[in-house]
Amino acid sequence: MPSHASAEGHRPIMLSRSESSDRSVRVDWSTYATAYDLLSEHNPEYQALLRDFEAFLATIETPKVIYDIGGGTGNYTEIAARACPGSEIHFVEPDAGMIGLARAKLAAHGNTNYETLALEDIDAPSTADLVICVHALYAMPAPEQRLADMRRLLRPGGLLYLIDLGRHMNVADWRSYLFSHLRKEHGLARTLRVFWQGREIAKQNTAIFKAQKTGVYWTHTEAEIASAATAADFEILRQDTVYRGYSDLLVCRAKP
């Protein structure tokens, strides 16, 4: 699930909700949240992304100020809060269902602040040492401008850790991949039980696919997201194709 809360990964969210008038492409993120952690726990591709982020944090100077934009159910913030207990962390998530789960998950960490503002409405220019944005940008309106908003949050030299779903989400492909993995690891009965408990994910992922096909959600190639990051005044330090080829991972530095 491809996003902070999908059966293929980490849920994609929309921070400024200019919903399409076509309700057939509307994604219910609160409903999505209820099954997100269950399925992401069983998704090796999602777990690989979490490990990559934890390894990334170990290679940088401890950030004083961190923003997690579109934080979903709080999995990346939880890693950051654990690895950087002295950091000031701002968890930005507009969906009530998502932020409710995140608050419970992060209750033991006193260094996290919660914000429900749209990204473009956050008034904290040039203060962050690290901005995290995982599987959220593509669902925001005007994503290229949202990259500029992330740059605005960062001090010169600050880092952006960005993962974004760029290609059309093939729900059948993800279902087959996860079913095969779960059956191998846990057997048929457990696999069927997990799929039943997470059945809402398939419905919402289908809505995401429709939103991508109609242009409501952003799709991009590796070159296109790199160009957008460069245009937003970032220097790209690392770029990889991840998540079975569906997503792009970029580590960027804010130019002076």
CB 173 within 8 A of CB 181: no
Q: What is the pLDDT of residue 221?
A: 98
124 vs 235: CA distance, rounded Å: 21
Please say whether the beta carbons of 12 and 28 come within 8 A.
no
Overall average pLDDT of the 84-100 stretch: 91
Range with lowest mean pLDDT among 24-33, 58-67, 157-166: 24-33
Q: How confident is the model at residue 38 (pLDDT cuts 50, 70, 90)?
A: low
Question: Are 227 and 233 within 8 A, CB to CB?
Answer: no
pLDDT at 196: 80
Q: Is residue 8 part of a domain?
A: no
Determine the pLDDT at residue 3.
Answer: 39
- Asked if the model's pLDDT at residue 13 lies above 70, the reply is no
What is the number of residues in the chain?
256
Asked, for residue 94, whether it belongs to a domain, the answer is yes
pLDDT at 227 over 50: yes
* Residue 208, domain member (yes or no): yes
90 membership: H or E segment, kind and range = strand 88-92
pLDDT value of position 201: 75
Is 4 inside any structural domain?
A: no
Over residues 108-143, the pLDDT tens digits come to: 999 999 999 889 999 888 899 999 999 999 999 999
Mean pLDDT of the chain, nearest integer: 86
pLDDT band at 244 (very low <50, low <70, confident <90, very high): very high
Asked if residue 5 belongs to a domain, the reply is no
The DSSP output letter for 63 is P
As for how many domains the chain has, the answer is 1
The answer as to whether 14 is a domain residue is no
pLDDT tens, residue by residue, 140-198: 999 999 999 999 999 999 999 999 999 998 988 988 998 888 888 889 998 888 778 77
CA dihedral (32, 37, 39, 44) in degrees, to 10, reads 130
Percent of the chain with pLDDT over 70: 84
CATH code of the domain containing 196: 3.40.50.150
Q: Provide the pLDDT confidence category of residue 222 given band limits of 50, 70 and 90.
A: very high
Residue 12, pLDDT above cutoff 80: no
Q: Which of 25-39, 104-118, 212-226, 238-252 has the lowest mean pLDDT?
A: 25-39
CA dihedral 42, 242, 249, 33 (to 10 degrees): -30
In this predicted structure, what is the pLDDT of residue 146?
97
* Residue span of the structural domain in which 208 resides: 23-254
Q: How far apart are CA 52 and CA 158, in angstroms?
A: 19
Of these ranges, 93-97, 177-181, 187-191, 215-219, the one predicted with the greatest mean pLDDT is 215-219
List C-alpha distances in Å: 86 to 56, 65, 73, 112, 210.
17, 9, 21, 10, 42
Flag whether 181 is in a domain: yes
First to last CA, the chain: 36
**Does the pLDDT at position 212 exceed 60?**
yes
Average pLDDT over residues 197-216: 83
Residue type, 70: G
Q: Is residue 3 part of a domain?
A: no
Contact between residue 120 and residue 149 where contact means Cβ atoms under 8 Å apart: yes
Question: Whole-angstrom Cα distance, residue 66 to residue 131?
Answer: 6
Nearest C-alpha neighbor of 4 from the set 199, 117, 138: 138
32 vs 181, more confident: 181
Q: How far is CA 58 from CA 63, 98, 128, 143, in A?
A: 11, 27, 18, 29
Of 46, 156, 132, which Cα lies nearest the Cα of 83?
132
d(CA 88, CA 112): 6
| Cβ within 8 Å of residue 139, ≥6 positions away | 3, 12, 13, 14, 27, 70, 208, 211, 217, 218
Q: What is the DSSP letter of 28?
A: -
Supply the pLDDT for residue 16. 38
Query: Which long-range contacts (C-beta less than 8 Å, at least 24 apart) are formed by 232-241?
Result: 232/144, 232/147, 232/148, 232/150, 232/151, 233/148, 233/151, 234/147, 234/151, 234/160, 237/159
